[in-house]
Structure formats: structure tokens, C-alpha cells
Structure 1
Amino acid sequence: MLLSPDAAARVERVDEDYLRVRVGALSRLPGNPYGAEVRVVGGGCGFLVEAVPNPLFNHVVNLDAGALAELPELAAWYARHGKPLRVDVTPAQSDRQLLAALVAQGLSQTGFYAGLYAELAPADCPELDPASGCTASIDRPESTRTGSAIDVAPVDPEEFAEVYVAGFGFPERHRAAMAESMRVLADHPSVDFFRARVGRATAGVGLLFRADTVGYLATAATLPQYRRRGVQSALVRYRMLAARQAGCDLVVGHTTFGGASHRAMERSGLRVAYTKALWGTAT
């Protein structure tokens, strides 16, 4: 599949769609205990969760030229909540006007993030009932390499949240908010939770978010003692199959460039659509 401008836009837009759902659900909790807010900014969005320092929840995406005048107010909005302004910029968005406005706001490039994609053609995805557990076509490569099968299947949101916070190793003071940010998705019709087991023990978890015909590998985590055993690759492949069964024609992932998740996605057939630049204040 050759990357088209339309496909590149879908790769980025699904991340915004997912955060709209996740941060929006947090904001609707009684009393909004975590200070969550979604702010429309031109053709994009600003996300803020006051109780969590994680930049995943505190940044601006899909900022367009028509919204550049809002940058000072955006910076003030984040500052009122003790957060720095961070703006994600894809190659398609990086015109000179936008970059000059970010520099004028006192921002500089602080890092990169990768967007990956794969077309889900019928030949890529054998028949699978996502409720039935992992098929041999998924777990055989991992079994061959590790000596033990990796079983992937749907999981209860409570177990997912527990493994998620442990796998990422969030600080204790932020664990409740991060776990709740998963629980609030429990009844959403476009969210599916999966777990991977090695033997009888849950080793990792992965979430699939569906937006129209795009399946998003939204987040995944592996417990430290099970890393480097193929858990993430098994979760990626299973979610790809589940997305195809749900009618998706594209699967997308976002992750740190060159990291373990990036490698797991590429081993499963995804390839880089772009690396986007992260603009913020130096810390």
C-alpha cells in the first residue's frame, strides 16, 4: 500500500478521535475529579488532564493555520493548570507559517513520534472469532521462539486497567487516574480490551479502538517479567485480526520511534507513515 495524503490524514485523525473519547469520558465523571477537558482548536483539538503530567493527555493535535492566533490563549490555558504547551506537528502540517508561529510562541522541537499503518486486506486475515481466543496462526511464531504459547483473548476492563498501570510503571500518585482513564471506556462500542497470557498468567494487555474503518492499536503494556517474549507482537497481530473482522480496512499505531512497540508493529506488517515532530518548551 502506497501512502496517500488521505491515508496519512487517517493515521493522524484516529489518534485524535481516540483521545476525544478517552479524555472526554474522564471529563464527564461526576465532579470531573481529574480536571479533564477537550478543547476544539480550529480543525484539531487540545487535550488536558490536570491530575496527570503525562503529555499523552496534555497536548494539541491537528493545529491548522486558521487557529494559529489561538496559540497564546492555548499556552495560557495549559499554564493555568500547571502544564506546558505541547503541539504535535506531522509532515503534512509543517508549513513555514505554522513553524514560525510555534517559534514565536517560544516553542522548539523536543522530540519525534512515529505513526505506523497497514492495509487490512482479506488475504492478510484468516477467519477469527475474537471471542474464541488466539488461533495457531497468531501464537505459533511466539511459541517457536519462547517455548510457550501466548494466548490472546478479550479481557475484563478491571483486569486490563490493573495490568496497564503495572506494565507502564506509573508513579503511585497517578495510578488511580490512569486506571480510571481505561475503566471509563468499558462500555464504549468502539473499544475492545484484550489480554495476552503466558501459561495461566496474564502477561500483557492491548486496546483496539475503531473509528469508521480504521482500527487503532491505541495502547498496550507488558509486565516487566514477560518482556522480550513476543507478548506485544501477539497482541498486535490479534488486534489486527479483530479489526479486520470488524470491517476495518486500515490499522494504525502511534509509538516512540524505534522503541519496543515500534519494532513489534513492524514485525507484524505495519510500516512507518511518518514521524511527527513534538514541539514544546525545553524542560
Structure 2
Amino acid sequence: MAACSAAAARRRGDRAGFVIPVAGGVASYAEPESPLNKVAGLGFDGLPGPAEFDAVERAYADRGAPVQAEISSLADPGLLDRLAGRGYRLVSFENVLGRALGDAAVPVDPAGVDVRPSTDDEFECWLGVVVEASLHPDTQGVAWHEEFPREMLENAERDAAGLTERYLARLDGTPAGGGSMHVVDGIAQLTGAGTVPEARRRGVQSALLSARLADATKAGCDVAVIVVQPGSRSQQNAQRRGFGLLYTRAVLALEP
């Protein structure tokens, strides 16, 4: 989040964004209506004091943006009390799944689906299918609580481009889905996966998941993680590939 927001600042060439360290986590703001505007990682290095909360909330308020905080179920329980006392309200839940790596991943090859790492000259094609998938989320399970303009989704993916490996899936030769992977400290974070609506239920997501797990294993990663909506098709696909629940995070918001 911090690196992507820094990339957004370079792209914009202004000081509209910020990255504020807070109690072991980070408060990030890239630009209006960006999916990067959030607070994460709180509750693992002490509890924020009133002055820290004040500074973060003021920074978002100065930009007319709500404060959205993602709080892990493993965080210090006292954090929820402090947020509730400041007027934050619960808006959604997200599940973080994980699985150990080490053994060679079993390949998944659905009929007609081909997944390969995406080259730089394919970036616009990859971006198009990933954003189109994000604009039409699957309706199974708990719905995503956020909607973003196409331009903001595109900007966020461009800002993350230097941090991830991208994968493009084709169905019968036609671009149908994409995903990405961020590797750091032996952890493979599987990100940005989506399938365009007309290609769903054909195994595209399973193939994207399989390809990234195989490459994460080859890279020597110890664990892979993925964020899903509770009860979603994405959660089911991940569980079939050996993922289990690591923790749930509550999403709380404070309106400006």
C-alpha cells in the first residue's frame, strides 16, 4: 500500500497523497476514490493514542475522504474499543486465506484455458480484463462493500505494476482474465485476479491460481496468501487448492 501510494504521488506529481506510519501499520491515501485509501496493520505494535488518531483522521478529512480501517481478528482487541469510541462503524468483513508451499503445485489445465506471465507489451490488454472483471464482481457470498470508478481502478493497477508479476489468461485464444503476484520475504501475495463475466465458470480462476502457486513454489516461497469475500466463489476456488482461513478482518469506516 505504501509503495503504491508513493508511485501514485510520482505519477500525479503533487502532494495530494500521503503515507503515515501509525502504531505498526500505515495510513495511505493516493487520490480521490482510490482503492489505496485505507488504514491497515494496526493492533500489532501497541495501540494508537488519541494524537495519532487525530493526525490520521485530520489528513483524510482535509481531502474530503472517509477513514477506512482494516482490522485483523488477530489484532489487539482493545483497538476495536478505541475505534468504536471514536465513531467508527462496521461496514464489511474480508477473509485472508493462506497455505503452505514447498511441494510442487499440482497443475490445473481447464479445456481451452491458457495462462502465461504477461509481458510489458501486453499490459494494456491485461489491465483491460482485470479492470473489467473488477467492475462486475461475482455475486456469490458476501458482496464487496466498495465500488470504484474505472479510472481509479486503472490508476491503482498502474501504480502497482512495478511491484507485481502479472498473469494473463486466455480462453480459446481470447483474453479472459488476469491476476498478479507480489513476493516478499518468502510470502507470495496473490492479488488482482478476475475473469470477465462472459468467461466465468470455465476454470479461468482455477488456472490463474494454479499458475501463480507453481511460480511461487519455484521462487522458494514458504506460504501463499489471498484475500477473498466470505462465501465467495473465489474462496471456494482457493479452498479447493489447499487454502485455509488465517484470519478475518473487519472493515470499519469513519465518514468525514
Please report the TM-score for the alignment, with normalisation by the length of structure 2. Answer: 0.85
Alpha-carbon distance between aligned partners in 2 of 1:78 and 1:58, rounded to the nearest angstrom = 9
Selected match of 2:53 from 63, 71, 75: 71
Q: Could you tell me which residue of structure 2 aligns to residue 215 of structure 1?
A: 188
1:112 counterpart letter in structure 2:
F
Q: How far apart in 2 are the matches of 1:185 and 1:92?
A: 27
- CA pair 273-187 structure 1, distance change in 2 beyond 3 A: closer
Across the aligned residues of Structure 1 and Structure 2, the Cα RMSD in angstroms comes to 2.3
Partner of residue 202, structure 1: 175
- The one of 88, 94, 103 equivalent to 1:113 is 94
The 1-side partners of 2:74 and 2:133 are apart by 33
SS for the counterpart of 1:51 is coil
Distance 1:102 1:186, change over 3 A: closer
User: Which residue of structure 2 lines up, in the alignment, with residue 151 of structure 1?
Assistant: 114
Which residue of 2 is the match for residue 138 of structure 1? 108
1:125 to 82, 99, 105: 105
Kindly state the Cα deviation for residue 53 of structure 1 after the two structures are TM-superposed: 4.9
Encode CA deviations 1:122-159: one digit per residue, 9 max, x unaligned: 2x426xxxxxxxxxx321xx3xxxxx331100113222
Distance in 2, matches of 1:94 and 1:228, equals: 40
Matches within 5 A, 1:4-153: 19-32=1-14, 35-54=16-35, 57-64=36-43, 65-69=46-50, 70-96=52-78, 98-122=79-103, 124-125=104-105, 137-139=107-109, 142=110, 148-153=111-116
Deviates more, 1:73-82 or 1:268-277: 73-82
2 CA distance for matches of 1:149 and 1:243?
24
Aligned length: 240
**Aligned partner of 2:38: which letter?**
H
User: Where has structure 1 moved over 6 Å in runs of 4 or more?
Assistant: none
**Please, which moves more after superposition, 22-31 or 271-280?**
22-31
The Cα of 1:110 is off from its aligned counterpart by 2.1
The alpha-carbon deviation at position 66 of structure 1 amounts to 4.0
1:105 positional shift: 0.8
Tell me the equivalent position of 1:5. none
Q: Distance in 2 between matches of 1:169 and 1:239?
A: 23
Q: 1:184 to 1:48 in 2, by over 3 A?
A: closer
Partner residue in 2 for 1:165: 131
Equivalent pair of 2:29/2:38 in contact (CA under 8 Å) = yes
Identity in percent: 28
Matched, 1:234 2:234: no
Taking a change above 3 Å as real, the CA distance of residues 242 and 162 of structure 1, as seen in their structure-2 partners, is same
Partner of 2:241: 268
Q: For 1:30 and 1:280, how far apart are their aligned partners in 2? A: 26
What code does the residue aligned with 2:115 have?
V
Q: Is the 8 A contact 1:195 1:205 kept in 2?
A: yes
Measured after TM superposition, the shift of residue 233 of structure 1 is: 1.2
SS at match of 2:252: strand
Runs of at least 5 residues in structure 2 that lack an aligned partner in the other structure: 137-147
State the AA in 2 paired with 1:159.
C
Q: C-alpha displacement at 1:101, in angstroms?
A: 1.0
Q: Tell me, yes or no, if structure 1 residue 279 matches structure 2 residue 255.
A: no
Q: Which amino acid aligns with 2:126?
A: F
Runs of at least 5 residues in structure 1 that lack an aligned partner in the other structure: 1-18, 127-136, 143-147
Amino acid at match of 1:162: G
- 1 or 2, which has the higher helix percentage? 1
Q: Which amino acid aligns with 1:160?
A: W
Q: CA deviation at 1:95?
A: 1.6
Question: Is 2:34–2:152's contact at 8 Å kept on the other side of the alignment?
Answer: no
